[in-house]
Chain A
Amino acid sequence: MDIAISTTGRHLLKALFAVLCLLLYAPLALIVVFSFNDADIPTELPEFPFKGLTLNAYREFIANPELTAALVTSAKVAAAASAAAVVLGLLASMALVRRRFFGKALASAFLLSPLVIPYVVFGIALLILFHEISFPLSMWTIVIGHTVIALPFTILILSPRLARIDVRLEEAAHDLGASGFRTFRSITLPLMTPAVVSAFLVAYVVSFDEVVIAQFVAGNTVTFPIYLFSQLRFPTNFPQVLAVAVVVMAASLLVVLAAEIGRRIVERRLHIELEGRADEAPPPTSAEPAAPQAERV
């Protein structure tokens, strides 16, 4: 007998899992389906039943300069913010993992604290700061805010990876006469590359998606979520917004999946090369990508 579950219970749980997954995916499926809906007059919300399938919404969205400009702005903001967050996260991780200093626990808690701050509060506090020092609101004020909230994510991804790199490799480089920076550039950074890439991508997604803080400190800048929001309130271009929502949804899923798979492949290869544990490492065709990691922990 399986002590964890009875046969009936197993079926019940399976059914519950299937139903809840269906409910979670239903809203997303709706957006995809209705982006192809052929409505005569663009209405505020999708009409039911369907009138037909069309790619009109997609054509219109590519031809809409405001929408594409908003996408480009968001891409720039996210690139700048995640680059800054990764650099700061690398510095913080190297201090937290490799060095000893007074007040480390406090520093670590402080660096992770943006994870729990309500974004409304942070957005407003930033707005007040920029107002007090008469700093003009622009794309860069959004970048500053997003760097703060993306930083904890980069630290949470980079630190565990750094902790798994054998410190003796760095010591060996140092003994062979490499300077601190040279050691970092030739040893630590190459080994960290997979984690740096996934930290960058996660920070990118966090920033690209963020709208509450952006809304307060954007000034006249229109990022993609801000544009989406304006279209929700005054829905003249609703079908286009659905279409672009589908494109962004697909792109972000692809990016996250690609990053995760890429990171696993590269890390596995690094482990085989560095630790000479090729015999212990699972075959690359393993059906469970997460299993080897869980075993190592």
Chain B
Amino acid sequence: MAVDARPVARSAPFLRGRRRSTATTAGLIGTPIVWLVVFFLVPVGIAALYSVGVFSFFPGEQRFTLTYWKDFVDGSVYLDVFWRSVKISLLTSVIAVLLAYPLAYYLALVAGSRKYVLLLILISPFFVSYFLRLFAMKVLLGDQGVVNSFAYWTGIRDPEHPIPQLIYSQFAVVTTLIVIYVPFVALPIFAALENLDRRLLEAASDLGASRWQAFRKVTLPLSLPGVLAAFVFVFIPTLGEYFTPLLVGGTSGHMFGNSIADAFLSSQDWQTGSMLSVFLLATVAILMAVFARFLSMQRLETE
């Protein structure tokens, strides 16, 4: 009898534990999920409803309509701004990656034992407020800014005619975004190069490859996932950039994020603004899905 009782006595708390475990799991994962559903998913959902006219800022005109979407697709000014944003983001991310690659390569494969100190030096500006760095670029590029002041002082240009396109232009937006993002972009490339097995390079060398061939056939392909991740890390956030174009972009550097904000803040056109928001969000979601797919395929191939 005593022998039989033992497994029963042991299994009871075990069962209780299991049941409690399921309940606590639901509580653990449920709380943050509910928070995000209420304050993240629901707001986006309401914005989507606004974009089809089901909700509206002014009472009495709520009915389903696709007018806002149709106007947008039929070549509105917003579509032009969207393509301009894509162009600016693409330019920024490509240049940032091209600049960051040699930096990451230097750190991971050349710098030796000092690499972590140098990496910290490189990424430290990223810990400084985005807004302050933006602000610094305005101080640098402005009409009375450092570059122009220097030009006036040395007499290269007179104060009535500051260097054109230095600020309030697409050039200013791209330059500022590159300065802000380069430290961040170097990180994933550094991680990819750091995980590279150096013996592969030695093997390539032993088989008669030149440095350039070893780079092209071994290092570059193996670091591509890092490069792609770096590209995504710049391209996605810059696509919805708001303050950089607002402060250094002027009219020609106006981006999609500014169009969205203006629709709400200036023209009080919540329907159009919501439609633009949902469109940008859908674009980002599709891009993320494509990149994630591509990255996992890359990983499968290398493994």
Question: How far apart are B135's CB and chain A's nearest CB, in angstroms?
Answer: 7
A293–B110 Cα distance when bound, in Å, is 20
Given known A27-B179, A31-B135, contact A3–B42 (CB-CB < 8 A): no
Contact B281 A28 (CB under 8 A): no
Which residues of chain A (123-174) have a CB below 8 Å from chain B? 124-129, 131-132, 144-145, 147-148, 151, 174
1/0 contact string of B22-64 vs chain A (CB within 8 Å): 0011111101110110011011101100100001010000000
Q: Which residues of the partner chain B approach A119 to less than 8 Å between Cβ atoms?
A: 240, 242
A-chain residues with CB within 8 Å of residue B284 when the two chains form the complex: 116-118
Asked if A225 and B129 sit within 8 Å, CB to CB, the answer is yes
Using Cβ atoms and an 8 Å threshold, which residues of chain A touch B297?
none
**B36 touching A120 by the CB < 8 A rule?**
no
Q: How many interface contacts (CB-CB < 8 Å) are there between A and B?
A: 245
A3 touches B39 (CB 8 A): no
User: Which residues of chain A have C-beta atoms less than 8 A from B26's C-beta?
Assistant: 101
CA of A16 to CA of B111, assembled, Å:
13
Closest partner residue, chain B, to A111 (CB atom): B32
Query: Residue A209 at the B interface, CB < 8 A?
Result: yes
Contact of A209 among B28, B102, B130 (CB under 8 A): B130
Q: Say how far A59's CB is from chain B's closest CB, in angstroms.
A: 21
Could you mark each residue 29-64 of chain A with 1 if its beta carbon is under 8 Å from any beta carbon of chain B, else 0? Answer: 011001000000001111111000000000000000
Whether B106 contacts A121 by the Cβ 8 Å rule is no
Q: Is the CB of A116 within 8 A of B236?
A: yes
Q: Interface size bucket, B side? A: 35 or more
Residues of A within 8 A of B (CB-CB), count: 87
Binds B, one of A190-198, A245-253, A275-283: A245-253
Does A288 lie at the interface of the complex (its beta carbon under 8 Å from any beta carbon of B)?
yes
> At the interface, is chain B mostly helix, strand, loop or mixed?
helix
Q: Tell me if B150 counts as interface (CB < 8 A to partner A).
A: yes
B260-303 contacts to A (CB < 8 Å): 260-261, 264, 270, 273-274, 277, 280-281, 284, 288
In residues 241-297 of chain A, which contact B (Cβ within 8 Å)? 245, 248-249, 252-253, 256, 287-291, 294
Query: Are the CB atoms of B179 and A88 closer together than 8 Å?
Result: no
A125 & B131 in contact (Cβ 8 Å cutoff): no
Contact A290 B116 (CB under 8 A): yes
Give chain A interface residues in 197-246, CB to chain B under 8 Å.
205, 208-209, 211-212, 216, 225, 228-229, 232, 245
Interchain CB contact (< 8 A) of A5 among B107, B110, B142: B110
Q: Which of B51-99 contact A (CB under 8 A)?
A: 55, 57, 99
Q: Which of the residues A118, A124, A209 comes within 8 Å of B264, measured between beta carbons?
A: A124
Using A4-B109, A44-B144, A225-B129 as known contacts, say yes or no to A28 and B36 having CB atoms under 8 A apart: no
* Cβ contacts under 8 Å, B127 to chain A: 205, 252-253, 256
CB-defined interface of B236-267 with A at 8 Å, one 1/0 digit per residue?
Answer: 11011011000100000000010011001000
Between A and B, 11 residue pairs with Cβ closer than 8 Å are A4-B219, A28-B128, A31-B135, A91-B27, A114-B36, A118-B257, A124-B261, A148-B40, A151-B35, A208-B129, A249-B132
Query: B110 touching A45 by the CB < 8 A rule?
Result: no
- Cα distance, A44 to B129, chains bound together (Å): 21
> Which residue from B139, B205, B211, B239 sits with its C-beta under 8 Å from A6?
B211
Determine the chain B residues whose CB is within 8 A of the CB of A144 once the complex forms. Answer: 39
Q: Are B183 and A147 interface neighbours, CB within 8 A?
A: no
Docked Cα-Cα span, A91 to B247, in Å, equals 39
CB within 8 Å of A: which of B164-200?
179, 182-183, 194, 198
Q: Which residues of B contact A117 (CB under 8 A)?
A: 40, 281, 284
